[in-house]
Amino acid sequence: MTSSPNAGPVVSFKEVRKVYNDDGLEVTAIKSVTFDIPSRRFAMIVGPSGSGKTTLLNLIGCIDAPTAGQLEVCGQNVGLLRDNAMTDFRSRNIAFVFQSFNLLPVLTAYENVEYPLLLLGIPAPERRKQTMAMLESVGLVDQRDHRPNQLSGGQKQRVAIARALVKKPALILADEPTANLDSRTGAEIIALMHKVQEEHSASFIFSTHDPQLMSHADEIFVIRDGELAEHRAGRPN
């Protein structure tokens, strides 16, 4: 976990623009956005398809760099980081929950969740404790020996959430995490992520175009045509 100060925002956009250039054809995905996303909240970026949600998440996740403007993530001006420092910053602070789950098919649910801790060189007893605690948190202790192909879509998503959270990142990002789930499973997964957010007091930011899911949000940022159209705060911080 990073020492991002309690009070500061987890993400700060200052006149951030993103223009894609494909073979000379320019597409302005983000026009010029200036806004903060408070830390330790359950924040949603909402908007129709093509509005710029994925672009914003890729900028926050340091997968892509702004064309102009300044972006701070966990108190760090990420524009100042060079390749290695960027990779290091990302692996220490940020986790992604992928829509396609990205689980390793030959590993069990337990091993998938344990994997990030293996990479960090955490000793076995501590690894076991943290892995089991995470499986418990997402309600998958009984399925721990199942491989991904023996799990439902919702269960796979739970494994993906547990794997993202096991290293206790300061910031968890998910791009339309419920898009491949039926609406009931989607609502369950959102409720679970909210519970886990409160337990771990991490910052969650995810995108959705499903208005049904917005009722769970602490903060809603509505994006339209690459601009911030509206910000609504939910429960008091």
Which residues are near Mg ion by CB under 5 A? 53-54
**Partner in contact with 149, chosen from Mg ion, ligand ADP, none, beta carbon below 5 to 8 Å by kind:** none
d(CA 180, CA 191): 16
- Which residues bind to ligand ADP, rule: CB under 6 A? 20, 22, 27, 29, 47, 49-55
**Which H helix or E strand runs over 135?**
helix 124-137
Chain residue whose CB lies nearest Mg ion: 54
* Residue 175 CB, nearest approach to Mg ion (Å): 6
Token pair 């320019």: residue: 26
- Which CB atom, from 66 or from 148, has the smaller least distance to Mg ion? 66
| Of residues 66, 86, 68, the one with CA closest to residue 76 | 86
Shortest Å, Cβ 69 to ligand ADP: 16
How far is 196 from 136, CA to CA, in rounded Å?
11
Nearer to Mg ion, 54 or 102 (CB): 54
User: From CA 124, how far away is CA 220, in angstroms rounded?
Assistant: 40
Residue 27's binding partner out of ligand ADP, Mg ion, none, with CB under 5 to 8 Å set by partner kind: ligand ADP
* 20 or 35: CB nearest ligand ADP: 20
**Cα–Cα distance measured from residue 159 to residue 146, given in angstroms and rounded to the nearest whole number:** 11
